[in-house]
A and B are shown apart, each in its own frame.
Chain A
Amino acid sequence: MTLETLETLETMMDAMFSQLVMLGGSGMLLTGLIVLWRKHVPAYISAYRWQAWLLAAVTATVGYFGGDWRLYVVAGVLVALKGIAIPALLRAMQLRFGKQPQITPYVNTETSLLVAGLLVLFAYVLARPWVAVTDLPTREGLPLAMALLFVSLFIIVSRRKAITQVIGFLMLENAIALLAAVGTYGVPLLVEVGVFLDALMGFLVMQIFAYQIHDTFDTIDVEQLTRLRH
């Protein structure tokens, strides 16, 4: 093979790599939007599951093209923890709460979707200088990861159900993992494991809180927490 064909092969691989990362990143962003659109908790849980699987796929893709076997391990742990275990825990939480009356969010659906659109625009503008200085093939995933970060923060502040806020937090955590994967080809395995444990602990603590809220107030509407109970 001549040097030239090798080079074209390399640029083709790079193009495919960046296409795949962009595809996974946009898929994750879409699952974030689903939470803003749908009104039922099972839909949120399956959106979260999809997001975790997509994150694992992006991580594995980065591992394959970046030639780092440790990212496969990370992807495997991601599937086991966020793709299977946490959705199962969320489902158990949902079953324990039973059927909840529909609680309208602080911001209605149409407005939240438009706000999400603006947040994505903001993320693109914010990531522009960053994208301009790096020549990583994954750079086009950076604005998507930041957009998911903003959208999940918006989910946390605009929803009133404790369980939706928990899912918003978990999505925020996914966004940071995506940012790490596309921005620096993953962080050291030790740090990654620590983050997983933190996320799991955080989730468990929040689950206990949600159960306490539900037991005390008979609802998971966090609005109830602002008033004293007699």
Chain B
Amino acid sequence: MTRYLVLAGQTLVAVALAPALAGFIRWLKARLQGRRGAPPWQPYFDVRKLFGKEAVVSHTASWIFKATPFLVFGTTVVVASLVPVVVAQVSPFVVGDLFAAVYLLLLGTFFLALAGLDTGSPFGGMGASREMTVVALTEPTVALSIVALALNAGSTSFSQIVAHTLTQPSAALGPGHLLAFAALFIVTLAETGRLPVDNPSTHLELTMIHEAMVLEYSGPYLALIEWGAALKLLVFLTLAANLFMPWGIALSLAPMALLIGLGSVIAKLGVLAAAIAVLETRVAKLRLFRVPELLSVSFVLALLAVMSTFLAR
């Protein structure tokens, strides 16, 4: 019973923290660029304001358009509940391994692309086509880079991977781990629409991918989509943080261990968010035709990670 309460609590923490993470990156980026920037908790105000507004829906839109925000938010929340955020269950936990997480996230993206096409606006279609191009290249990399860890741990369950890395700390410095981490980080940038691939802060028709798909959304729908996107970023960063550097994560349900787990995950997310903010300040957006090159780099890195863990044994 306590276990389920703790798992539910961990999911709630993830959902509640997500806007703050997005806001923190935005704030830090503004400071790095010499602007004052909105405070890190600004996304909470945005979400509250959007929930209070009326949603405007195009006449040509079908039910897919209205169902998509719930699907996107729902699948991301489910994935957040599968990922070890604060506590890793050491007991074999059958529901939800890495494949479930990867394909649930893909389901949300798929519906988002459908919704982009649904309204018939040219921007939506353009964004959907670009997003599908990017996703087709990132999805195998996500699976492959986590498989590199799963091969080491002998299980595709996230908790088992975390537990294995904790028992073998020297493996965390091995090339398999580092290459897989680099691959997952590049893919995180692509999947969550961050800078070298997509620019999260502009509405310029030539460059946008994610923003183009959600251009038609307004009011509560937009709030759900924005929140879902922030949560997706949090899920990816948590995966990167807790699978590759699991130290501090709670292995039992003792209150003290949970507190340490919460503190450590916030600290790790803070470091990764700062890395993203610095990166977004330093690099320019890649031309769309060069994005596949970056993604094939990350694919090759993931492939090398799998090879060095699998073939070198």
Contact = CB atoms under 8 A, between A and B. Distances in A.
A103 B25 CA distance: 38
A203 B75 CA distance: 57
A19 B312 contact: no
Interface string B30-70: 00000000000000000000000000000000000000000
B186 to A, nearest CB: 11
Interface string A37-69: 100000000000000000000000000000000
A162 interface: no
B179 A26 contact: yes
Interface stretch (A77-85, A88-96, A117-125, A212-220): A117-125
Nearest to A118: B303
A26 B175 contact: yes
A168 interface: no
A110 B303 contact: no
A23 B307 contact: no
B300 A116 contact: yes
Interface in B282-300: 292-293, 296-297, 299-300
Contacts of A25: 175
A120 B300 CA distance: 10
B184 to A, nearest CB: 16
B308 interface: yes
B170 interface: yes
A22 B178 CA distance: 11
Interface string A115-136: 0110011001100100100000
A180 interface: no
A23 B304 contact: no
A198 B174 CA distance: 34
A23 B173 contact: yes
A26 B170 contact: no
A19 B170 contact: yes
B167 to A, nearest CB: 14
B308 A22 contact: yes
A144 B176 CA distance: 12
B230 to A, nearest CB: 31
Interface in A4-43: 15-16, 19, 22-23, 25-26, 29-30, 33, 37
A110 B292 contact: yes
B170 A128 contact: no
A221 interface: no
B254 interface: no
B147 to A, nearest CB: 15
Given A117-B303, A124-B312, A22 B175 contact: yes
A29 B304 contact: yes
Contacts of B311: 121, 124-125, 128, 143
B140 to A, nearest CB: 12
24 contacts: A16-B170, A19-B173, A22-B174, A22-B308, A22-B312, A23-B174, A26-B179, A26-B308, A30-B179, A109-B296, A110-B292, A110-B293, A110-B296, A113-B293, A113-B297, A114-B300, A117-B300, A120-B304, A120-B307, A121-B303, A124-B311, A125-B311, A128-B311, A131-B312
